[in-house]
């Protein structure tokens, strides 16, 4: 059962932090109150938090006989409700400053959880829950939010505006200096609470007294259980995944089409592994033209970079245990089997393996880095490396050119779908982590900090294991500081979604408000939908350094210019033109015979009368404007556009050249059916992001709105 501090001890902690609780003392001791002075009598019970619900709060004059009678009544009620009585607390009754018709009391809660210390600050009092729905409390992950930031946000919150008299017809109840000072006290309080081993400090309500001071009228604090420290996987594991020279595979049978045989077929296409592949197959020296060893014991003195175990769940765990017992053999072990740490794990295999690995690391013993279980595979296009069990005829082999995007996913199927949907995405790494028994997304993020060639990280996450959220947030903040972009789509945001995630990846449910606030403040871009995630990756794949700014829209369809005007908003607002840029555009339109048809303004509707030349001249005239992003809408039904794929290539290359020359981001929208797929492909092959609707292009940009700068 959690150990709660007594209310006097909580008040003592608050006072040390610089917060002014009510004057107080236990009934039966010498009290510094005048006779008849208004006081608040509070019954104290072990674990009793909501005193008002149990009749344990009375407003009385300071009259000892009356107080003792009331305390006896409280004791009987509290004990009847199942709490152990621990005395009665007498507190001064603080006069509360009010603003007519408006709530003025606050709720302040500091909790220590997955993201470290989090501060919730919102409306309090008896109606706190009802008010929180229309006016949610502010959520501040304290390691990622400064006092200055918190102060500015509180000034804009309805509670802060009421307190500071910023609403029409209201007077200030406190000062900005007092408010800032209280926030500074809260940041001191979380450090003190951490040192004291607490995981909760709550004040509800916090009221303003007539002098404008913030006074907590009640306080709760709880001692937490210290979390078990997770030891991360050994350093260097990412190099073993990106650039393996020797790979061993267990679980290859003589049956065509099996998991092991498919993985082997994919591995053999990597020229980097020629001469570096071996099989673990008892009783055979050679199989399918490759050397074999009987078991992992042979790897002790001749280790591999990557060992892939395509074995049943129980055999997989047993093999990893043998590997650790012998003290070496593989830098990374990929666990293909499911049923280890997910909904199909009936025997606790995942917990057993995790415990074994962590105990070994705590004892400074050797362990490999484990990827999986439920590891579908990973792809490194620069080396044509494919460790998956997906037949190549089902999905195109990764491009050998490599790229700047690292795509990490808990779900293998999600990763495959993204690869199939966006085949032009310049992937440098695609990795399906599965159940994350050991290596988890935060570990990959930290390792990628030292691989600057990966400028974009796309993450599909279904949940964070204990201790991972804060690590991910800190890694994301460092990556953002390096000028890189982390784009996340969070699956399992509802109870039903979490249940589904737990069944196949063992994902852990979390507080979504806290998680989102923390990651945004760490600089993550968070896509609200899969469509926005895909579209955002398309933009980033073409322009890895893309940052918010005004967006110019050039189209040949009025509905697209209207749609863009409706959708574009800060931090990607619709661009406008200064006088000079307007003049340049007007001259370009006139030169193409469009001057009498088209108004020189943004969004620019060129009408179906424009040819490719009209587009190019107009867009070129915008290259010196303040708009860093241009969306080009090409509704292809007009005879003025050459929509055969081969015929469209010069136009596509010219647009890509403008983007490179002027350091602009140019995206293409072709709002038409599958008859125009070859037309789209011409722009995609030129390196331009291509979208099927204007809404998709804008949704992708909005997904790139950073949580922090």
Residues 6+ apart with CB under 8 A from 138: 119, 120, 121, 122, 150, 153, 154, 157
Residues 6+ apart with CB under 8 A from 324: 356, 357, 360, 365, 366, 367, 368
Are 646 and 695 within one domain? yes
Please give the Cα distance from 413 to 425 (Å, whole number). Answer: 17
3-state secondary structure 660-695: HHHCCEEEEECCCCHHHHHHHHHHHHCCCCEECCHH
Does the structure show a pLDDT above 90 at 431?
A: yes
User: Is 232 within the bounds of a domain?
Assistant: no
Tell me the average pLDDT of the chain.
Answer: 93
- Residue 499's pLDDT band, with cuts at 50, 70 and 90, is very low
Are 76 and 189 within one domain? no
Are 485 and 589 within one domain? no
User: Is 144 within the bounds of a domain?
Assistant: yes
User: Is 18 within the bounds of a domain?
Assistant: no
- Residue 373's pLDDT band, with cuts at 50, 70 and 90, is very high
pLDDT digits (tens, 9 = 90+) for 541-591: 999 999 999 999 999 999 999 999 899 999 999 999 999 999 999 999 999
Tell me how many helices (H) and strands (E) the chain has. 22, 30
User: Is 5 within the bounds of a domain?
Assistant: no
Residue carrying the six token digits 């484990």:
370
pLDDT digits (tens, 9 = 90+) for 307-348: 999 999 999 999 999 999 999 999 999 999 999 988 899 999
Residue carrying the six token digits 């674990």:
47
Helices (H), 422-570: 441-448, 468-481, 495-505, 512-521, 530-542, 558-567
Residue 383 sits at the vertex; the CA angle it makes with 377 and 387, to the nearest 5 degrees, is 15
Are 454 and 307 within one domain? yes
Please identify, among 92, 115, 140, the residue that sits at the C-terminal boundary of a domain. Answer: 92
Tokens at 588, concatenated: 């370009």
User: Is 621 within the bounds of a domain?
Assistant: yes
Residue 288 contacts residue 253 (beta carbons within 8 Å): no
Residue 616 contacts residue 652 (beta carbons within 8 Å): no
User: Is 534 within the bounds of a domain?
Assistant: no
What is the domain-level CATH number for residue 634?
3.40.50.261
- Residue 656's pLDDT band, with cuts at 50, 70 and 90, is very high
Are 483 and 568 within one domain? no
Please identify, among 527, 562, 596, the residue that sits at the C-terminal boundary of a domain. Answer: 527
Are 69 and 206 within one domain? no
Which residues sit opposite 429 in a β-bridge?
A: 406
Please give the Cα distance from 423 to 419 (Å, whole number). Answer: 6
Please give the Cα distance from 700 to 551 (Å, whole number). Answer: 13
Tokens at 37, concatenated: 């002075």
Query: How far separated are the first and last CA of the chain, in Å rounded?
Result: 42
3-state secondary structure of 458: strand
Please identify, among 223, 257, 289, the residue that sits at the C-terminal boundary of a domain. Answer: 223
Domain that holds residue 692: 551-703
Return the pLDDT at 502.
37
Residue 122 contacts residue 159 (beta carbons within 8 Å): yes
Are 615 and 667 within one domain? yes
User: Is 461 within the bounds of a domain?
Assistant: yes
pLDDT digits (tens, 9 = 90+) for 632-651: 999 999 999 999 989 999 99
Are 390 and 521 within one domain? yes
What is the domain-level CATH number for residue 149?
3.30.470.20
Return the pLDDT at 492.
57
- Residue 398's pLDDT band, with cuts at 50, 70 and 90, is low
The Cβ-side half-sphere exposure at 116, using a 13 Å CA radius, reads 18
Residue carrying the six token digits 């968070």:
526
Are 452 and 316 within one domain? yes
Are 205 and 262 within one domain? no
Q: How many domains is the chain partitioned into structurally?
A: 4
User: Is 98 within the bounds of a domain?
Assistant: no
Are 201 and 277 within one domain? no
Are 134 and 260 within one domain? no
pLDDT digits (tens, 9 = 90+) for 252-311: 998 888 999 999 999 999 988 999 999 999 999 999 999 999 999 999 999 999 999 999
């Amino acid at each position: 059962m959690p150990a709660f501090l007594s209310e006097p001890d909580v008040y003592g902690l608050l006072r040390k932090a610089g917060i002014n609780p009510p004057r107080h003392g236990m009934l039966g001791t010498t009290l510094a109150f005048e006779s008849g002075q208004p006081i608040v009598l509070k019954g104290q019970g072990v674990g009793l938090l909501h005193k008002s619900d149990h009749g344990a709060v009375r407003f009385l004059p300071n009259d000892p006989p009356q107080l003792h009678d009331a305390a006896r009544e409280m004791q009987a009620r509290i004990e009847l409700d199942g709490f152990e009585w621990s005395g009665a607390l007498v507190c001064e009754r603080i006069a509360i400053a009010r603003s007519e018709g408006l709530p003025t009391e606050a709720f302040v809660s500091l909790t220590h959880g997955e993201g470290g210390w989090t501060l919730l600050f919102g409306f309090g009092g008896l109606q706190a829950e009802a008010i929180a729905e229309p006016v949610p409390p502010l959520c501040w992950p304290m390691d990622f939010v400064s006092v200055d930031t918190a102060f500015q946000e509180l000034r804009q919150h309805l509670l802060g505006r009421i307190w500071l008299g910023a609403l029409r017809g209201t007077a200030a109840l406190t000062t900005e200096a007092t408010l800032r000072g209280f926030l500074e006290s809260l940041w001191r309080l979380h450090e003190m609470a951490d040192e004291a081993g607490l995981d909760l400090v709550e004040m509800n309500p916090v009221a303003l007294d007539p002098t404008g001071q913030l006074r907590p009228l009640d306080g709760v604090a709880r001692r937490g259980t210290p979390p078990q420290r997770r030891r991360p996987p050994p350093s260097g594991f990412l190099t073993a995944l990106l650039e393996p020279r020797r790979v061993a595979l267990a679980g290859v049978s003589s049956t065509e089409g099996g998991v092991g045989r498919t993985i082997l077929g994919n591995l053999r296409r990597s020229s980097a592994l020629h001469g570096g592949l071996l099989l673990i197959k008892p009783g055979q020296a050679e199989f399918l033209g490759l050397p074999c060893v009987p078991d992992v014991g042979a790897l002790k003195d001749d280790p591999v970079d990557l060992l892939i175990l395509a074995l049943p769940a129980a055999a997989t765990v047993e093999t990893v245990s043998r590997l650790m017992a012998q003290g070496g053999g593989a830098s990374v072990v990929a666990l293909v089997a499911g049923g280890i740490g997910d909904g199909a794990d009936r025997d606790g295999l995942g917990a057993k393996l995790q415990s074994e690995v962590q105990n070994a690391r705590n004892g400074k013993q050797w362990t490999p880095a484990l990827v999986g279980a439920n590891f579908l595979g990973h792809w490194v296009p620069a080396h044509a490396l494919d460790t998956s069990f997906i037949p190549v005829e089902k999905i195109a082999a990764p491009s050998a050119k490599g790229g700047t995007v690292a795509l990490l996913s808990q779900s293998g199927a999600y990763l495959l779908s993204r690869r199939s949907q966006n085949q032009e995405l310049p992937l440098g790494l695609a990795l399906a982590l599965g159940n994350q028994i050991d290596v988890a997304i935060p570990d990959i993020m930290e390792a990628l900090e030292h691989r600057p060639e990966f400028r974009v990280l796309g993450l599909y996450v279904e949940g964070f294991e204990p201790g991972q959220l804060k690590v991910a947030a800190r890694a994301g903040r460092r990556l953002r500081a390096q000028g890189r972009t982390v784009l996340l789509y969070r699956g399992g945001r509802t109870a039903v979604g979490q249940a589904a995630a737990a069944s196949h990846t063992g994902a852990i449910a979390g507080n979504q408000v806290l998680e989102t606030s923390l990651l945004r403040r760490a600089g993550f871009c968070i896509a609200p939908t899969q469509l926005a995630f895909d579209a955002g990756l398309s933009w980033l794949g073409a322009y890895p350094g893309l940052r918010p700014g005004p967006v110019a829209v050039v189209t040949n369809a009025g509905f697209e210019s209207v749609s863009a005007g409706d959708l574009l908003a800060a931090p990607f607002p619709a661009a406008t033109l200064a006088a000079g840029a307007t003049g340049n555009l007007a001259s370009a339109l006139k030169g193409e015979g469009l001057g009498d048809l088209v108004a020189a303004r943004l969004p620019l509707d060129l009408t179906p009368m424009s040819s490719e030349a009209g587009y190019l001249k107009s867009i070129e005239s915008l290259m010196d404007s303040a708009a860093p992003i241009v969306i080009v809408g090409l509704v292809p039904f007009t005879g003025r556009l050459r929509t055969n794929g081969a015929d469209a290539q010069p136009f596509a290359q010219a647009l890509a050249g403008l983007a490179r020359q002027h350091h602009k981001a140019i995206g293409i929208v072709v709002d038409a059916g599958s008859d125009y797929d070859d037309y789209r492909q011409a722009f995609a092959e030129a390196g331009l992001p291509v979208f099927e609707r204007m809404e998709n292009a804008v949704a992708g940009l909005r997904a790139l709105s950073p949580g922090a700068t």
